[in-house]
Amino acid sequence: MKKWLLLLAVLLIQACGNSSENMDSTDSQEANPEEIETTITTPEIEEEEPQADAENRQEEAYFGYYVGFFEGVDMNFDKDPVPFNKITISIDSLSSEMLYGHSVVAGNERPFSGPMVVAGDSITVVASEPGDDRYDGVFSFTIRPAEELLIGTWKANNQRLAVSSRQYKLEKKTFAYDPALELSEEVGWSNLYEKYPKYPDKSESLTEDVSKFNASSYELKKEDVENMYQGDLEVMRNAIYARHGYSFKNRKMRFIFDHEVEWYMPVSTDIREQLTALEKKNIDLLKRYEQHAERYYDEFGR
């Protein structure tokens, strides 16, 4: 009897062991949630540019300098008008439906502002200068950013001026001071000293000396300039100012740099703070010798 009981106990123990192994085997085959790699593919969505940023980029396309000739249309030739002056128009800011900017021409820097109308990528503007200067007037122009052009007209408030209306087609340009800019050897002129020549048989001209030295990058010595004509010295000195974008009031200098110097771009009426130490030193030297030099080269003789 005891042997049967012992045998029964052994069989029960074995049965429990097999059941336990089967359970362990089943548990091991079940997936562990932490060990499952789940890959979720999310479709790429292109983010649209915020409307405000897009509008800002569009506005910036209008900003900057536009340069070209301010051409006389209505002129009183009894008052000795200047038919062409180089002008720079700067578009400075836009606010709601208003445009703000300034012009630089003939030694004058004047602000203007006025309403604008948007038509596609272009804008049309009627902008008035303050009116407290005798040469103030009204600009009417269109900006075409794709072509980098500003095209329009200007009418003086004072219709008695020598030039009471002008037209212009200006190209967008970036200004940067460059002391290496040179005067061409072909720079020259005649009949340019204000209302000169007083004598019909004489003509004033530069010589090749005017382009011999760059007074923005080379330190002049007295032996370099002591035998030069006043006209050459004067233009060499003013070339320093021109490299900084100075707008000349002097009619002769305007004509020379507007028409004879391709890189010239008027952007300011006061560049004193931008002059380098070398330029200031050369200006002082040139002024001293201008005072005593012969006035100009007379190609017809005296």
Quick one: pLDDT at residue 110?
98
Closest CA to 187 of 203, 211, 215: 211
- If you average pLDDT over residues 273-289, what whole number do you get? 97
The confidence band for 197, taking pLDDT boundaries of 50, 70 and 90, is very low
Query: Tens digits of per-residue pLDDT, 140-166?
Result: 999 999 999 999 999 999 999 999 999
Question: φ, ψ for residue 23 (rounded to 5)?
Answer: -65, -40
Residue with the larger pLDDT of the pair 50 and 1: 50
What percentage of the chain has pLDDT greater than the value 70?
73
In the predicted structure, residue 26 carries a pLDDT above the cut 50? no
Quick one: pLDDT at residue 53?
57
In the predicted structure, residue 51 carries a pLDDT above the cut 70? no
Residue 32 has which token pair? 């562990």
In the predicted structure, residue 9 carries a pLDDT above the cut 70? no
Quick one: pLDDT at residue 6?
47
Domains and CATH numbers, the chain: 52-173 (2.40.160.90), 204-298 (1.20.58)
- Least confident span in 12-21, 162-171, 172-181: 12-21
Quick one: pLDDT at residue 294?
74
Quick one: pLDDT at residue 57?
57
- Indicate the helix (H) or strand (E) that contains 40: none
Tokens 């479709």 sit on residue: 43
In the predicted structure, residue 45 carries a pLDDT above the cut 90? no
Distance (Å, whole) CA 248 – CA 252: 9
Quick one: pLDDT at residue 194?
47
In the predicted structure, residue 169 carries a pLDDT above the cut 80? yes
Average pLDDT, the chain: 83
Q: What is the DSSP letter of 246?
A: B
In the predicted structure, residue 270 carries a pLDDT above the cut 70? yes
Quick one: pLDDT at residue 59?
74
Quick one: pLDDT at residue 52?
52
Helix 230-243, helix 277-290: angle, nearest 10: 160
In the predicted structure, residue 30 carries a pLDDT above the cut 60? no
Please provide the DSSP assignment of 226-238 as one string. TTS-HHHHHHHHH
Quick one: pLDDT at residue 299?
46
Distance (Å, whole) CA 27 – CA 76: 107
